[in-house]
C-alpha cells in the first residue's frame, strides 16, 4: 500500500470512528494536504510503538477507538492522537460533517446524564482492554524495533 492509500485509509477510518460517517472527498484531500504541508506528524518523536498504533488504528474504527483510548492516558501527544485531532479539526470546518458534530438529540437532563455515564463507562472498559492489549506490544516494540518514518506525502 502506498503512502497516499494509507493516508486515505486513515482519514476514512478516523472519520467513521469520530462521527460515524465517511469523509467527503474534500476532507480526504485536505487530510492528504495536511500531511504534505505540516511537520507535526513528521517531526514529533514517534517510535515503533507510535507507528504500530497508527497502522492498527487505520484498519477499523474499533481499533481506532482502542488505540485512542490507550493514547488518551499513556500517549497523549502521540502521532495517532494528533492525526485524530487533525481529522476532527477538518470535519468541524467542512459542510455536512460539522452538522454531525453539532447535532444534539435534545434529550431530558436525566437521559443525557445516563447517556454520558454510559459513554464514560464504555470508555473505561475500552481503556482497560487497551491496556491489556497494548502494554505487551509496547514492551516488545521498545526492545526490538527501531524508529521509522510514518507515511507522508512528498512536498
Strands, E assignment, 15-134: none
Q: Is 10 in the site for other proteins (CB under 8 A)?
A: no
Q: How far is the CB of 141 from other proteins (least distance, A)?
A: 21
Q: Which grid coordinates belong to 32?
A: 492528504
Place of cell 518514518: 149
Instruction: Determine the distance from the C-alpha atom of residue 114 to the mean position of all C-alpha atoms in its chain, rounded to a whole number.
Output: 26
Among 5-13, 79-87, 135-143, 145-153, the segment contacting other proteins (CB under 8 A): 79-87
Nearer to other proteins, 126 or 137 (CB): 126
CA distance 44 to 140: 21
- Determine which residue in the list 77, 125, 140, 145 makes contact with other proteins, applying CB under 8 A: 77
Maximum Cα–Cα distance for the chain, whole Å?
A: 52
Q: Is 11 in the site for other proteins (CB under 8 A)?
A: no
Q: Is 104 in the site for other proteins (CB under 8 A)?
A: yes
CA distance 97 to 74: 29
Among 47-55, 77-85, 134-142, 147-155, the segment contacting other proteins (CB under 8 A): 77-85
User: How many residues touch other proteins (CB under 8 A)?
Assistant: 53
SS3 of residue 137 by DSSP: helix
Q: Is 103 in the site for other proteins (CB under 8 A)?
A: yes
Q: Is 125 in the site for other proteins (CB under 8 A)?
A: no
CA distance 14 to 115: 22
CA distance 128 to 121: 11
Q: What is the DSSP letter of 155?
A: -
Chain residues binding other proteins by CB under 8 A are 17-19, 26, 30, 34, 37-38, 40, 44, 64-65, 68-69, 71-72, 76-78, 81-82, 84-86, 88-90, 92-95, 98-99, 101-109, 111-113, 115-116, 119-120, 122-123, 126-127
Amino acid at each position: 500500500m502506498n503512502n497516499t492509500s494509507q493516508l486515505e485509509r486513515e482519514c476514512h477510518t478516523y472519520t467513521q470512528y469520530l462521527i460515524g460517517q465517511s469523509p467527503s472527498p474534500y476532507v480526504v484531500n485536505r487530510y492528504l494536504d495536511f500531511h504534505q504541508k505540516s511537520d507535526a506528524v513528521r517531526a514529533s518523536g514517534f517510535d515503533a510503538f507510535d507507528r504500530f498504533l497508527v497502522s492498527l488504528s487505520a484498519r477499523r474504527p474499533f481499533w481506532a477507538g482502542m488505540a485512542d483510548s490507550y493514547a488518551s492516558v499513556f500517549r497523549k501527544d502521540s502521532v495517532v492522537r494528533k492525526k485524530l485531532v487533525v481529522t476532527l479539526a477538518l470535519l468541524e470546518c467542512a459542510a455536512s460533517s460539522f452538522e454531525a458534530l453539532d447535532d444534539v438529540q435534545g434529550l431530558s437532563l436525566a437521559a443525557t446524564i445516563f447517556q454520558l455515564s454510559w459513554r464514560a463507562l464504555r470508555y473505561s472498559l475500552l481503556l482497560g482492554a487497551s491496556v491489556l492489549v497494548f502494554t505487551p506490544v509496547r514492551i516488545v516494540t521498545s526492545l526490538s524495533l527501531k524508529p521509522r518514518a510514518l507515511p507522508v506525502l512528498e512536498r
